[in-house]
Chain A
């Protein structure tokens, strides 16, 4: 059986940093190898390096600790329309409720998670892939690992 010649022999310089999503992959014969060595997606990989789940969880824990030097993890918080931002230690909160309460107090307005509402500001965050997401969908621990900065948006924008 012949090998189709339409894919290029692998070479280290041709690593693509985007993994084809399931909907795109079916016709892509030049399947770039899926490891993005330099993209920010690297941290999220569950199958490299090849270590067992228990050790992997331990690694995640350590990275979390290391960032804040042990017990703190500061992120920038901006409110839309306000040029000067604030900094907040996320480790000081036990969950989303205390975070919202504190933010509402800090910015002197009512802030909520999730559901769009004409009246309230909505809290969003930028994750490690660079995307802006609604706060509150994922478990708190997972949120702590992926959040990079926070933004309080005006209601109409969502």
Chain B
């Protein structure tokens, strides 16, 4: 890198920018490519004076060579950068991309994606905004998978993997997938809804090479456990099966046979209906499991059954992740001791055991990296975690409901302080707590400047620092100041505009921010939109900002994936202005009542704004209103939105001038 910068210092004119772009690109490539491309850049720059843009184009690499180089590039961010260099790189890249990620299913049309990436093997899509998880998006809003499945079935039938998050998936979709993609291997549905177990049966019956079928927290119309029996006897390729969100009992004998004939099965997550005797029989048949989600853990077992189960657990020599454990009885916790020393991930969100039992378990998990637990663990339990689990990277503490009514709270801010002190690798936290203090936040920030994800939910809205009665501004200031790599943040408690000034000033790498019940005025939004350079997703509820901040920072919205606001003070008028001003944004007003019937300045209920090259969507329900735009500026189907966090906006703009692209 040093040598090429020296060469750059000597060059003039347009070429300077070409080469700086090229070299910046190179710097981000895989290390084994660097020597080749480095050489290339030096040899090109030696004759820099004579090079103009067209000559550079003339020096293009043979497409086979280029294709070979690009095939080493996996990360989509790098591929997006590659596709912006020049037309031939764009063409080569798009023909070789196998894994496609679309962060907002309405940002681009399925047809455009299918056209651009004909060799697509894997498609990942996200639909509804994140706040849909908390019932803030009314049913029927959208996020339908069908248009995508239909388009891919027609254009890219060699699709093998589909991963959907927060989308509406119907049985027809599942049947279409089963019928259209001959070599279908992976189906992962996270927080999806709209389908029944009949759709699952179609997948099970038809996809002969199915490897992964995972239903993570989906809402499924459960018509019974028969679907599992549809896996044919010839299916032996299963690697991962997760049906933990289903209610009905599946036939144990079918499950046993399926597990027995799946030698590659690494991950098995059962639903609650699978009892302990069933679990034992399954574990015996799959001692190679790496991830296990048990069923209900509270049946009455006699001594013999208990020892059999203990033996089955002890045989799981490769087990790294454990979850399920619904209603686990304290007396069964010792059954898990044999797997604890190897566990790297433990999900106790459904295990309603008390602190002493949790400590017994966790003190044996010295390799634990990820822990999800209920607040029943209390401060004392977290202190134990801090001293035993030195490898901990991610901690989530969920409310058990106990604290909402009681004044006697055993989980306080002290728990998180202990963990931040004792666990040097901790980088991701989701913590639900009744109240907090600034001192605790400052201490946590000082202990752990390596946070990437910090989500604190103070459950009492507007709760100030309970010792000083001051807002939590100073506490969050410490977090954003110290944690330079912070990518995701959720704030809560009593916060004034000052808190957001600090966030805007310091949180330069912040990609996603969630705010609820905070701020005093427009300034809060203004600070965020004008300060946070890397902001991609912003979701806000019940905050008192209004039109001015939104309109003033309209341009920022096109650099973000989306902005959600509910129960704020934005008027329909402002939405209209914003929509007309910004043709590449969809401004959706989600309101029970036609916004026109409101007085002009009256606030709308919810707004969802996202950048798109697909124009306003056509599948909106009656409670979603978008505003008609004036004639659109022609948009390229280059999907500039996927850009390169690594390029600044200006560099991009210059590249598009230097290397004119015809689309």
| A residues at B contact (CB < 8 Å) | 1-4, 7, 9-12, 15, 22, 26-29, 31, 33-35, 37, 42-43, 46-55, 58-60, 62-63, 66
Question: Which residues of B551-580 are within 8 A (CB) of A?
Answer: 551, 567, 569, 571, 573-574, 577
Contact status A47-B135, CB under 8 Å: yes
Question: Which residues of B526-542 are within 8 A (CB) of A?
Answer: 542
Contact status A58-B350, CB under 8 Å: yes
- Could you pull out 23 A-B pairs where Cβ atoms are within 8 angstroms? A3-B569, A9-B521, A10-B521, A10-B544, A15-B462, A26-B597, A27-B602, A29-B603, A31-B603, A33-B542, A35-B461, A37-B460, A47-B135, A47-B136, A48-B134, A49-B432, A49-B457, A51-B134, A51-B398, A53-B217, A54-B217, A59-B401, A63-B401
Contact status A49-B459, CB under 8 Å: yes
Report chain A residues within 8 Å CB of B516. Answer: 48, 50
Report chain B residues within 8 Å CB of A60. Answer: 401
Q: How far apart are A86's CB and chain B's nearest CB, in angstroms? A: 26
**Residue of chain A at shortest CB distance from B592:** A22
Complex Cα spacing A26 to B596, Å? 11
Report chain A residues within 8 Å CB of B551. Answer: 1
Selected from B402, B543, B546, B592, the residue in CB contact (under 8 A) with A62 is B402
Complex Cα spacing A28 to B131, Å? 25
Report chain A residues within 8 Å CB of B601. Answer: 4, 29
Selected from B191, B399, B569, B599, the residue in CB contact (under 8 A) with A31 is B569
**Residue of chain B at shortest CB distance from A62:** B401
Task: Using known A-B contacts A35-B517, A51-B134, A53-B219, determine if residue A2 contacts B398 with beta carbons closer than 8 Å.
Answer: no
4 more CB-based (< 8 A) A-B contacts, given A7-B544, A9-B520: A12-B462, A48-B459, A49-B459, A52-B133
Does B400 touch A at the CB level, under 8 Å?
Answer: yes
Selected from B400, B404, B521, B567, the residue in CB contact (under 8 A) with A34 is B567
Report chain B residues within 8 Å CB of A11. Answer: 520
**Residue of chain B at shortest CB distance from A46:** B135
Report chain B residues within 8 Å CB of A34. Answer: 542, 567
**Residue of chain B at shortest CB distance from A8:** B544
Contact status B602-A35, CB under 8 Å: no
Q: How far apart are A40's CB and chain B's nearest CB, in angstroms? A: 11
Contact status B602-A49, CB under 8 Å: no
Complex interface bits, B450-478 against A, C-beta within 8 A gives 1, otherwise 0: 00000001011110100000000000000
Complex Cα spacing A31 to B245, Å? 39
Task: Using known A-B contacts A26-B598, A62-B400, determine if residue A35 contacts B542 with beta carbons closer than 8 Å.
Answer: yes
Complex Cα spacing A31 to B191, Å? 32
Q: How far apart are B47's CB and chain A's nearest CB, in angstroms? A: 55
Q: How far apart are A97's CB and chain B's nearest CB, in angstroms? A: 25
